[in-house]
């Protein structure tokens, strides 16, 4: 199955300053799209269309945007990065085209008044808003005013109303839905099964290698009965050879004794 996300550009015969996306290569399957530092044509990125219906993360940092009116409808988009552009207003289209947006980064744009943020009230799921390096942050009671204007907001510039910094889990969006998680776990299960099969195969090889030893020593490290019998026979043969040798030695000693006795008797007779 295709990857659930992709970091593109999907360029086709184009330069980084004038990208041409090729959604035909799988626009419906893309969930993450990064086009930072590209250049737009009159506020448009050719090929960035509503065909990216499953897109959840879009990054357009420093692409020269002055308006967001040309963004396509992306109903599943959750996080939008628009920092370091020239946007000065017109944010009302965000709620129309990106109704499920939860994280919005507008840092480094030309936003000067709290009123320019009022259209964001319609983004009912908006959880985090970043406005670093915008003139609006220099206003008195800036943070209090924004939280009052946008009650659905949890974090402004990375901190909540009590100046507590957002945790990593809160600052990031969980891009993987339940179906994708199940697919990932299925893949892990497949990997585990493959590992088990490899372990089993290695175990079979080991058993095969030591089979010769089992024939010699028998099961459970015991010596086979046939080997016992062979060893017993060898021991008996050795005992027989030892008995024969001992018998020959005794006979020789007996013969020698009798000979010495006869010689002694003969000497006695001569003396008589």
Q: What is the CATH number of the domain that holds 55?
A: 3.80.10.10
7 within a domain of the structure (yes/no): no
**Considering the chain, what percentage of its residues have pLDDT values greater than 70?**
52
Say yes or no: 73 and 186 in one domain: no
List residues bridging with 81 in a β-sheet.
59, 105
List residues bridging with 41 in a β-sheet.
44
42 within a domain of the structure (yes/no): yes
Say yes or no: 246 and 235 in one domain: yes
Average pLDDT over residues 43-67: 92
Question: What are the tens digits of pLDDT across the range 118-169?
Answer: 999 999 999 999 999 999 999 999 999 999 999 999 999 999 999 999 887 6
Q: Identify the domain containing residue 184 by its residue range.
A: 176-208
HSE-CB of 187 using CA atoms within 13 angstroms: 9
Say yes or no: 217 and 108 in one domain: no
Cβ contacts of residue 22 below 8 Å, gap of 6+?
10, 11, 12, 47
Question: How many Å apart are CA 125 and CA 159, to the nearest integer?
Answer: 17
Say yes or no: 181 and 238 in one domain: no
Average pLDDT over residues 54-60: 97
Average pLDDT over residues 84-92: 96
183 within a domain of the structure (yes/no): yes
47 within a domain of the structure (yes/no): yes
241 within a domain of the structure (yes/no): yes
Average pLDDT over residues 228-245: 64
- Would you say the pTM of this structure is higher than 0.85? no
Say yes or no: 259 and 187 in one domain: no
Q: How far apart are the first and last CA of the chain?
A: 127
Say yes or no: 185 and 159 in one domain: no
Say yes or no: 204 and 214 in one domain: no
Question: How many Å apart are CA 138 and CA 127, to the nearest integer?
Answer: 22
Say yes or no: 112 and 88 in one domain: yes
97-101 LR contacts (CB < 8 Å, sep 24+)? 97/71, 97/72, 97/73, 98/71, 98/73, 98/74, 98/123, 99/75, 99/123, 99/125, 100/75, 100/76, 100/125, 101/77, 101/125, 101/126
Domains held by the chain: number:
3
Say yes or no: 93 and 160 in one domain: yes
HSE-CB of 248 using CA atoms within 13 angstroms: 5
pLDDT at 47: 81
Say yes or no: 115 and 246 in one domain: no
> Comparing 186 with 118, which gets the higher pLDDT?
118
15 within a domain of the structure (yes/no): no
Say yes or no: 32 and 155 in one domain: yes
Whole-number mean pLDDT of the chain?
75
Say yes or no: 224 and 159 in one domain: no
Residue 152: its H or E element: none
């Amino acid at each position: 199955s295709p990857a659930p996300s992709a970091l593109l550009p999907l360029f086709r015969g184009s330069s980084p300053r004038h990208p041409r996306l090729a959604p035909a290569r799988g626009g419906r399957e893309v969930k993450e799209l990064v086009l930072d530092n590209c250049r737009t044509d009159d506020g448009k990125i050719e090929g960035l269309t509503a065909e990216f219906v499953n897109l959840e993360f879009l990054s357009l940092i420093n692409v020269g945007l002055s308006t967001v009116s040309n963004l396509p409808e992306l109903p599943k988009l959750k996080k939008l990065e628009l920092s370091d552009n020239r946007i000065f207003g017109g944010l009302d289209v965000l709620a129309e085209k990106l109704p499920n947006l939860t994280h919005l980064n507008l840092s480094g744009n030309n936003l000067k008044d709290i009123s320019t943020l009022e259209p964001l009230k319609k983004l009912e799921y908006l959880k985090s808003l970043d406005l670093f390096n915008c003139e609006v942050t220099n206003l008195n009671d800036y943070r209090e005013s924004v939280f009052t204007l946008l009650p659905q907001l949890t974090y402004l510039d990375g901190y909540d109303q009590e100046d507590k910094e957002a945790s990593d889990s809160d600052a990031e969006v969980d891009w993987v839905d339940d179906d994708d998680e199940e697919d990932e776990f299925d893949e892990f299960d497949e990997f585990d099964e493959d590992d088990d099969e490899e372990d089993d195969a290695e175990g079979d090889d080991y058993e095969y290698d030591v089979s010769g030893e089992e024939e010699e020593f028998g099961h459970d490290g015991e010596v086979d009965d046939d080997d016992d019998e062979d060893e017993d026979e060898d021991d008996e043969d050795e005992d027989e050879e030892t008995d024969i040798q001992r018998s020959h030695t005794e006979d020789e000693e007996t013969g020698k004794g009798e000979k010495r006795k006869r010689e002694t008797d003969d000497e006695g007779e001569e003396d008589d």
